[in-house]
Chain A
Amino acid sequence: MKWALAGALVALLALPAVLSSYALTLFILIFFYGFLGQAWNIVGGYAGQLSAGHAAFVGVGGYTAAVLSIELGLTPWIGMLIGGALAAALGAIVGYLGFRFGLRGFYFVLLTVAFAEICRIAVTNIDALGGPLGLYITFTGNPRQFQFQDGRAYYYIALALMLVATATAWAIERQRFGVYLAAIREDETAAEALGVNAFKYKMLAMVVSSFLTGLGGTFYAFYLFSLQPNTLFGIPLSVEIIIRPIVGGAGTLLGPILGSFILTPLAELSRLYLGQGGLHGAHLIAYGVLLIAVVLFLPEGAYPRLVRALARPAGSGR
């Protein structure tokens, strides 16, 4: 397993040398959504707290870095960290309210959705942030401005982001923290009875997750050169963030990445082929069907199933 992963990593590092520019874009999106999924996985998968408003953290991170860069000329490399910190602060507020008041299940989902929507409506109505039209970033191609002439730079940054989030999840999984989170996810009352401070660990998971997601906002903004409240704070982005780890396997280390490798090309190809024929919603119909199928037939996600299939002693046919 270790060698396979190392091999995959080397392959990913060498890949840009042979990729067409379209394939390069596809991989950037795979890594980026894999990264967002992994960041969500920390609170949504490991801790089992289904946040359906993670887009808010992308939005806060992206807008912070963009505004600091446009108004003060601050390099997005620092703005990214500030954006992440502000997203973490928002995550702490939402987490505090939700966990302190014991909101679980559907109620927590709604709280997170409501916060993301409040952010979206607020940003839409703040003229300094560009209102409903949003902000645009002028292209300079200057690496100091988080802009690159060469698409491969974005490839490596997106890959690095995904690896950072995965390393974070790995570190959490290996420590007591990860065990506590799993206990909380499986049975919070029982975990608390055994002395696990559920509030503290859920808060920590939320803050780490929202910080990472906030970092992603900067990438999103400076990769696309534009920020609109509806795309950066909207519920559709939250759904994109959630669906990959769920399909891949929530609460597993490689689930979100596998989910992104399955779903992102599917989404892009159907957008490319079906979208051109005027069928704009077609790829989202496919998403919906997939989501239903996963819940009904593969509730634990693709990754655990894959692991079991591989671990089975070379059975059928070999």
Chain B
Amino acid sequence: MREERRGRIAGGGVWAAGSCVDLTLVVQGVLSGILFGGVYSLMAVGLTLIFGVMRVVNFAHGDMMVWGMYLAYVLAARAGVDPYVSFVVCALALFVLGFLVQRGLVDRIVSAPHEMQILLMLGVALVLENLALVLFGPEPTRVRSPLAAAAIWIGPVFVDVARLVTFVVAVALTLVLWAFLFKTDLGRTVRAAADNTYGALVIGADVRRVYAVAFGIGAACVGAAGALVSPILPFQPSTGLSLSVASFNIVIIGGMGSLLGAFVGGLLVSLAESLGAVFLKPSLKELFSFSLLVVILLFRPAGLFGRRAS
């Protein structure tokens, strides 16, 4: 199949080959965009959960994700654990980190002005990013996994097995989170606290514990997302910032605090970036999502699925 395509490009008329390859590229772009979108969705679901429950924006979200990646990296390099297995460990570790950050820091400023919350989380982000820089150095790395090299060809389009597995696991985790929030008592308490903190207090919910658990789960989402994406996406400590910004993008586009919005938004943004890379230069793909963000901020600040922003 590969041979055939190469033959077509080399042998066929420029005109015919051009239009044919273009269509393949577009289909390929849509496919890999949607598959990568699973990771974006998982990131955004974590962020939106934290925001929905305690109205705090986790500016360290991307940096927490990078820690998930490095954890997967260390586990793969030292213990030989494949990231598609170790993502469970990474999620648990990040749950603990998120829980502690909430208990130790965020808990003190839940009712402080927005600026103060933003600055505190920026401080946490700086510490996490640069701790990774000190420990792991600035060079981009990637986790090796046998899956990363495999691909399935469907006609002229190939499906990256790593992306497929990542997508399936990310969607499964989102469903698990959904089941937790809607089917378990603790999950219902989390939603109650998000809906009406005072009301939750009145009926005797331990809101402080709920906050810490929600922050932990939000961080666990990026812990898993980071591990899952570590064989596909080369990363370095500074990747965290762009991941944070990408998560904000998605969450605002989907609607702050809306789980469905975060999920759909993740797929949409990933699709937009992927098609942007096909039609424009790959280095311009982020321009797409930022422009989308600006348009959404201006005309529908509540996002696609959000309630009115206050």
Contact = CB atoms under 8 A, between A and B. Distances in A.
Main secondary structure of the interface of A (DSSP, over half): helix
A239 B122 contact: yes
Contacts of B115: 48, 50, 105
Q: What interface size band does chain A fall in?
A: 35 or more
B88 interface: no
Nearest to A118: B290
Given A106-B57, A107-B297, A287-B126, A118 B287 contact: yes
Nearest to B241: A235
Given A110-B297, A279-B134, A281-B237, A121 B290 contact: yes
B301 interface: yes
A169 to B, nearest CB: 19
Contacts of A282: 130, 134
B278 to A, nearest CB: 16
Interface stretch (B105-113, B149-157, B227-235): B105-113
A124 interface: yes
Interface string B272-310: 000000000101101100110110011001000000010
Interface in A265-305: 279-282, 284-285, 287-292, 294-296, 299
Interface in A104-141: 104-107, 109-111, 113-115, 117-118, 121-122, 124-125
Contacts of B241: 235
A22 interface: no
A285 B130 contact: yes
Interface in A69-107: 97, 101, 103-107
B124 A288 contact: yes
A50 B118 contact: yes
A59 to B, nearest CB: 15
Nearest to B237: A281
A101 B301 contact: yes
Contacts of A103: 297, 301
B114 interface: yes
Interface in B240-297: 241, 245, 248-249, 252, 281, 283-284, 286-287, 290-291, 293-294, 297
Contact of A97 (B112, B114, B129, B294): B294
B298 A101 contact: yes
Interface residues of B, number: 44
User: Which one of B112, B133, B237 has the greatest number of beta carbons of chain A within 10 Å?
Assistant: B133
Contacts of B57: 106
A110 B248 contact: yes
Given A103-B301, A121-B283, A299-B116, A285 B134 contact: yes
Contact of A295 (B109, B131, B133, B245): B109
A279 B237 CA distance: 13
Contact of B118 (A106, A114, A121, A299): A106
Nearest to A289: B127
Contact of A288 (B118, B125, B245, B283): B125
B81 interface: no
Contact of A292 (B123, B132, B309): B123
A246 interface: yes
Interface in B75-124: 105, 108-109, 112, 114-116, 118-120, 122-124
A238 to B, nearest CB: 10
B18 interface: no
Contacts of A291: 119-120, 122-123, 126
B134 A110 contact: no
B245 A113 contact: yes
A98 B309 CA distance: 15
A294 B126 CA distance: 14
B284 A125 contact: yes
Contacts of B301: 101, 103, 107
A296 B286 contact: no
B138 interface: yes
A123 to B, nearest CB: 11
A246 B249 CA distance: 26
Contacts of B124: 288, 292
B134 A281 contact: yes
A213 to B, nearest CB: 19
Contacts of B108: 296
B290 A285 contact: no
Contacts of B245: 113-114, 117, 235
A106 B114 contact: yes
Contact of A122 (B119, B249, B287): B287
Interface in A219-274: 235, 239, 246
7 contacts: A101-B298, A106-B114, A239-B122, A291-B119, A291-B122, A292-B123, A299-B112
9 pairs of A and B residues whose beta carbons are closest in the complex: A281-B130, A288-B126, A281-B133, A291-B123, A288-B127, A105-B114, A292-B123, A284-B130, A295-B120
